[in-house]
């Protein structure tokens, strides 16, 4: 047996990770330097990526280096950058001024809960920046210095920022509980922008950004590669359903442009989610198109800078215009929807050349998207189901006992909570909610959002994933839950690790996959395989719900009662 | 350390007021400093508010805490995810009057077996509400010291607050709740290691200052009674810009007054500006209408993008080879 390395979950013993010491160290936080322990920090952005994007100070360096090769005048750059942002963002200025350090946010952050490092309390994460603000931008801080909570901007402060602003997944859970709505994600975004001015990025975010700028998607898939990928999926769809679907690609004059995160092009369960979109669109006969240029709905610019959000996202409306579509439909993703919902219309809009989205099948006008002209796949699907436009056999999903992970961005940056639940309950007979402190607006991050989902950050991912993992384990033990649905590409990648570690036996799925498996398609063959090309339990012999439940009980050896917290 | 600095500073300030006035500096503590304090308070507060008001809100980023407005048959959470001005007003009113977000507060515990448990934790909410509301009532009660005749509403408030009529003088409920709530907030800060770790002088000082104001006020009212008529002479004098320092006022009153003046002067330059700031918070005071209406960024600027033309130029041959339509053959 080979020993696991720090970038593998097996390296970490459960009992070690669970020994969380919530007692702060003896030294005050200003006097406690960062400990760059492998497994808790992310590798720096490579020079070639910064160069490609024309970002400042491209060079290769290592986090553990003494010298991070900053510009001569790094201090001035940071302070000027702060001054500029304080003039531009009311959030930044206000949040620097009004925190009362009541601590209501302290134990709301998954990284603090799972790790106990006091600087992962949202309030202290913000203080890392606020202390510099006091020193250089407030009267009392200038006069009284440390007594007024101010401190000098030093090289070590920069290192500390780099560590802790990349230990925040910008999930905004803290801001739900803060009496003033102070959003530490916003402060993290400012912190990361300031670091960016010094050429300090993490490669796991900036490489996708560079890829995305060039090829249209984070993974760097070129146009012919994308077509290839989708063609593979078409074959798998045919194998599972007997139906051959089309791939409309860069098709001018289509009614709808479909964009989805590139996570859906690779690896299970992303690809099944992607196949499911194709099945759905084919079945209802949607006149749509994919785009190789707008082949990414996600936007790692959100984890980089406001400017980068705009640079990457410009392609979406540009492509909609070039192809002459009427409106845009977006796939299952979290941070993509924070961008599409809260930023896109401002940074790249308004897209007056598009039409107010209207479902060609139900006639529903999506009033809430009347200006941005982009509709969420769950809004679209819920509307179809409500109008009886899909033929569904939920019993095909009876071997699945599913719970739902609200993604941070869609929950707290949009509020799409009921649509996915309605869809899931329409296609699954066994739906169970996790405890109420861990869902909806109080949902917990997967631990790997905002550019943190890389393997070298494994310890932090497992720690940050603990609250979610614990909630999954709870419903697994209580209701026999065996699948966790999430409408987010990052979740579909990172929650696999989290579940394997904290709630082994629970698989991760996209919601659309559940829909496509339950859909009775025109001319389909007898469905014995699901989209993962696994045999559907019970499908061979008998197709009744009863049979499936019994099957489940025998294979899982679990006592399962229906209902319970299943939220109607 | 931070605690002692703060406590010492407040004790020192109180004694300065008390002894200063005792040593014949009535005019300084009764006239000059109050004017400076009011000036700093009003000027500072206006200055702070103007700064916030002048910083744009480039993006519409409400923290949505409930169901969005979408399909007509899905029930929107109109207060937690408002899409109209009315909804926003409701959300803000509940936030400001009831500290609604603190009502959601939970205490998180990690058990040894890896189970994370959440308990409701309302003490902070309770202590905070008790402190703020009793402070507001006490402030309103003070109006009788400034205005003649005393407005009816204020007299009514006195009656209400003094409903526990235990002999004379009338005991006001808020006189007790105020310091008790503050002491709770102080001990909470000291008792919880996390909170102690994040607490600065900026946090202890206002607590001690407010406790000092509360206790000295209590003393003035119930223990060594001041001559209200003389106090009123002073306040009315200050307000009419014909200041006087009546001789019958005790040094203790000046101690109280000085602490209040320090509080006023300190207010705009400290975290206490949250009183005004809470109204400005973009995560709370914006409607979630991002896709419904365009929100303009006043400092928006053009950025370098990768155009479709550049993209096609790089990949044209590959695209043609697999039959993806291109613009330029
Ligand atoms: C619109 C008016 C106000 C609102 C909505 C408001 C709201 C709040 C909230 C929600 C907290 C956090 C909970 C806590 O720590 O107690 C807080 C803390 C505090 N407020 Fe206010 N406040 C207002 C006005 C004031 C004023 C006028 C003062 C003082 C002169 C004040 C002094 C404080 C202090 C000292 C704390 C910190 C308490 C602690 O250390 O725990 N507030 N306020
Ligand atoms: S909840 Fe808000 S005010 Fe309280 S400590 Fe956290 S950020 Fe500061
Ligand atoms: S945004 Fe999320 S990750 Fe960041 S400090 Fe707040 S709770 Fe923690």
pLDDT single digits (tens) B97-114: 999 999 999 999 999 888
Closest chain B residue to A386, measured at CA: B73
Q: Cβ–Cβ of A469/B291 closer than 8 Å?
A: no
Instruction: Nearest by CB to A213, from B306, B312, B324: name it.
Output: B306
> How far apart are the CA of A86 and the centre of ligand 3, in A?
21
Query: What average pLDDT does the segment B30-41 reach?
Result: 95
What does DSSP assign to residue A343?
I
Report the gap between the CA of A204 and the closest CA in chain B (Å): 21
Indicate the CATH number of A394-518 among 3.40.50, 3.30.70, 3.30.750, 1.20.1250.
3.40.50
> How far apart are the CA of A60 and the centre of ligand 3, in A?
29
* Chain segment A294-314, per-residue pLDDT in tens: 999 999 999 999 999 999 999
Backbone angles phi, psi at B305, to 5 degrees: -120, 170
Q: Cβ–Cβ of B198/A343 closer than 8 Å?
A: no
Q: Cβ–Cβ of A107/B300 closer than 8 Å?
A: no
Q: Is the CB of A185 under 6 A from ligand 3?
A: yes
Instruction: State how far the Cα of A244 lies from the Cα of A170, in Å rounded to an integer.
Output: 41
Instruction: State how far the Cα of A64 lies from the Cα of A39, in Å rounded to an integer.
Output: 13
DSSP string computed for B193-236: HHHHHH--HHHHHHHHHHHHHHHHHHIIIIIS---HHHHHHHHH
Of A124, A126, A169, A467, best ligand 3 pocket probe by most atoms within 8 Å of the beta carbon: A169
Q: Atom 3 of ligand 2 has which residue's CA nearest to it? A: A99
pLDDT of residue A563: 37
The verdict on B102 touching A (C-beta cutoff 8 Å) is yes
Instruction: State how far the Cα of A69 lies from the Cα of B193, in Å rounded to an integer.
Output: 37
Nearest ligand atom owner, CA of A112: 3
- The secondary structure element, H or E, covering residue A376 is strand A374-376
What does DSSP assign to residue A457?
G
pLDDT of residue B120: 85
**B158 occurs within a structural domain:** yes
The verdict on B174 touching A (C-beta cutoff 8 Å) is no
Burial class, B58, CB count within 10 angstroms (exposed 0-12 / middle 13-18 / buried 19+)? buried
The verdict on B191 touching A (C-beta cutoff 8 Å) is no
Domain interval for residue B264: 2-295+304-321
Instruction: State how far the Cα of B305 lies from the Cα of B327, in Å rounded to an integer.
Output: 19
Instruction: State how far the Cα of A413 lies from the Cα of A510, in Å rounded to an integer.
Output: 20
Contacts of B194 in chain A (CB under 8 A): 22, 24, 103, 106-107, 118, 121
Record the tokens describing residue B184, joined without a space: 């709770």
Query: What average pLDDT does the segment B186-208 reach?
Result: 95
Global confidence as pTM: 0.93
CATH code for the domain in which residue B86 is found: 1.20.950.20
Instruction: State how far the Cα of A124 lies from the Cα of B211, in Å rounded to an integer.
Output: 26
Nearby residues of B278 by Cβ (< 8 Å), 6 or more positions away: A98, A179, A180, B95, B96, B284
Q: What parts of chain A have a pLDDT lower than 70?
A: 1-2, 540-568
* Chain segment A317-346, per-residue pLDDT in tens: 999 999 999 999 999 999 999 999 999 999
Burial class, B139, CB count within 10 angstroms (exposed 0-12 / middle 13-18 / buried 19+)? exposed
pLDDT of residue A540: 66
pLDDT of residue A18: 95
Task: Decide if pLDDT at B150 tops 90.
Answer: no
Closest chain A residue to B279, measured at CA: A180
pLDDT of residue B224: 80
Query: What average pLDDT does the segment B16-25 reach?
Result: 84
**B329 occurs within a structural domain:** no
Instruction: State how far the Cα of A504 lies from the Cα of A522, in Å rounded to an integer.
Output: 37
Nearby residues of B258 by Cβ (< 8 Å), 6 or more positions away: B13, B14, B16, B17, B18, B20, B29, B33
Instruction: State how far the Cα of A270 lies from the Cα of A564, in Å rounded to an integer.
Output: 30
User: Which position has the token pair 């006023």?
Assistant: B264
Q: Cβ–Cβ of A227/B322 closer than 8 Å?
A: yes
Q: Is the CB of A192 under 6 A from ligand 3?
A: no
> How far apart are the CA of A179 and the centre of ligand 2, in A?
7
Query: What average pLDDT does the segment B144-155 reach?
Result: 86
- The secondary structure element, H or E, covering residue B97 is helix B85-98
| Residue pair B123/B105 in contact by the 8 Å Cβ criterion | no
Q: Atom 8 of ligand 3 has which residue's CA nearest to it? A: A109
b/e A525-558 (16+ beta carbons within 10 angstroms → b): eebebbbbeeebbbbeeebebebbbebbeeeeee
Domain residue spans of chain A: 9-201, 207-386, 394-518
Closest chain A residue to B63, measured at CA: A412
**B326 occurs within a structural domain:** no
Burial class, B78, CB count within 10 angstroms (exposed 0-12 / middle 13-18 / buried 19+)? middle
In chain B, the number of structural domains is 1
Closest CA to A512 of A531, A493, A533, A490: A531
């Amino acid at each position: 047996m080979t020993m696991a390395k720090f970038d593998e979950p097996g390296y970490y013993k459960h009992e070690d990770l669970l020994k969380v010491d919530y007692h702060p160290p003896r030294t005050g936080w200003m006097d406690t330097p960062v400990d760059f322990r492998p497994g808790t920090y992310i590798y720096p952005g490579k020079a070639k990526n910064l160069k490609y994007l024309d970002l400042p100070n491209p060079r290769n360096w290592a986090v553990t280096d003494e010298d991070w090769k900053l510009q001569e005048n790094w201090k001035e750059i940071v302070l000027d950058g702060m001054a500029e942002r304080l003039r531009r963002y009311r959030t930044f200025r206000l949040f620097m001024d009004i925190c009362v350090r009541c601590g209501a946010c302290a134990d709301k952050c998954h990284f603090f809960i799972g790790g106990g490092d006091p600087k992962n309390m949202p309030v202290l994460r913000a203080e890392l920046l606020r202390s510099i603000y006091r020193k250089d931008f407030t009267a009392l801080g200038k006069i009284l210095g440390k007594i007024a909570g101010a401190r000098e901007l030093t090289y070590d402060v920069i290192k500390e920022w780099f560590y802790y602003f990349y230990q925040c997944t910008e999930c905004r859970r803290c801001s739900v509980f803060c009496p003033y709505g102070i959003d530490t994600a916003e402060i993290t975004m400012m912190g990361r922008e300031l670091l960016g001015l010094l050429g300090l990025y993490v490669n796991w975010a900036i490489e996708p950004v560079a890829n995305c700028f060039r090829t249209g998607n984070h993974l760097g898939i070129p146009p012919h590669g994308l077509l290839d990928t989708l063609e593979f999926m078409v074959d798998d769809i045919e194998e599972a359903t007997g139906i051959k679907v089309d791939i409309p690609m860069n098709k001018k004059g289509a009614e709808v442009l479909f964009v989805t995160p590139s996570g859906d092009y690779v690896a299970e369960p992303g690809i099944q989610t992607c196949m499911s979109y194709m099945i759905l669109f084919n079945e209802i006969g949607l006149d749509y198109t994919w785009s190789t240029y707008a082949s990414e709905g996600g936007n790692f610019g959100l984890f980089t800078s406001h400017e980068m959000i705009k640079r990457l996202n410009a392609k979406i409306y540009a492509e909609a215009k070039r192809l002459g579509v009427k409106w845009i439909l977006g796939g299952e993703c979290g941070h993509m929807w924070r961008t599409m919902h809260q930023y896109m219309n401002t940074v790249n809009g308004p897209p007056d050349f598009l039409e107010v989205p209207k479902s060609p099948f139900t006639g529903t006008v999506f009033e809430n998207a009347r200006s941005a002209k982009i509709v969420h796949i769950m809004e679209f699907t819920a509307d179809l189901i409500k109008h009886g436009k899909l033929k569904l056999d939920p019993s095909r999903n009876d071997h699945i006992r599913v719970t739902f992970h609200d993604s941070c961005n869609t929950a707290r940056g949009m509020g799409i909570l009921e649509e996915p639940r309605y869809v899931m309950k329409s296609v699954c007979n066994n739906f169970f909610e996790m405890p109420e402190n861990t869902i909806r607006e109080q949902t917990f991050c997967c631990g790997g959002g905002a550019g943190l989902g890389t393997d070298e950050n494994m310890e932090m991912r497992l720690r940050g994933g603990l609250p979610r993992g614990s909630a999954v384990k709870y419903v697994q033990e209580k209701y026999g839950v065996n699948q966790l649905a999430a409408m987010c590409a990052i979740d579909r990648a990172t929650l696999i690790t989290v579940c394997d570690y904290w709630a082994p036996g629970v698989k991760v799925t996209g919601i659309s996959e559940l829909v496509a498996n339950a859909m009775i398609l025109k001319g389909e063959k007898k469905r014995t395989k699901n989209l993962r090309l696994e045999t559907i339990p019970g499908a061979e012999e008998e197709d009744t719900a009863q049979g499936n439940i019994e099957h489940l009980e025998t294979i899982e050896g679990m006592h399962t009662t229906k209902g319970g917290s299943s939220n109607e | 350390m931070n605690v002692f600095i703060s406590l010492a500073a407040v004790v020192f300030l109180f004694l300065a007021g008390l002894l200063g006035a005792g040593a014949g500096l009535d005019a300084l503590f009764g006239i000059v400093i109050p004017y400076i304090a009011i000036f700093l308070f009003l000027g500072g507060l206006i200055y702070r508010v103007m700064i916030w008001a002048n910083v744009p809100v480039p993006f519409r980023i409400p923290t949505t805490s409930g169901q969005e407005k979408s399909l007509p048959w899905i029930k929107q959470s109109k207060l937690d995810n408002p899409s109209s001005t009315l909804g926003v007003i409701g959300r803000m009113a509940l936030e400001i009057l009831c500290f609604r977000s603190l009502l959601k507060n939970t205490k998180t515990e990690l058990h040894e077996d890896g189970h994370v448990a959440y308990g409701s934790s309302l003490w902070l909410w309770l202590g905070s509400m008790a402190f703020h509301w009793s402070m507001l009532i006490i402030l309103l009660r003070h109006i009788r010291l400034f205005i003649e005749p005393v407005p009816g509403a204020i007299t009514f408030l006195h009656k209400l607050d003094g409903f526990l009529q235990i002999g004379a003088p009338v005991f006001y409920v808020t006189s007790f709740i105020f310091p008790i709530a503050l002491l709770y907030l102080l001990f909470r800060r000291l008792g919880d290691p996390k909170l102690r770790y994040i607490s600065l002088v900026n946090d202890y000082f206002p607590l001690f200052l407010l406790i000092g104001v509360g206790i000295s006020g209590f003393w003035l009212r119930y223990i060594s009674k001041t001559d209200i008529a003389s106090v009123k002479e002073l306040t009315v004098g200050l307000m009419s810009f014909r200041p006087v320092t009546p001789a019958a006022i005790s040094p203790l009153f000046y101690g109280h007054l000085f602490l209040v003046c320090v509080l006023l002067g300190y207010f705009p330059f400290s975290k206490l500006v949250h009183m005004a700031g809470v109204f400005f918070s973009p995560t709370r005071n914006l409607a979630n209408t991002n896709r419904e209406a365009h929100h303009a960024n006043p400092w928006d600027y053009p950025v370098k993008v990768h155009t479709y033309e550049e993209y096609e130029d790089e990949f044209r041959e590959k695209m043609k080879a697999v039959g993806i339509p291109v613009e330029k053959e």
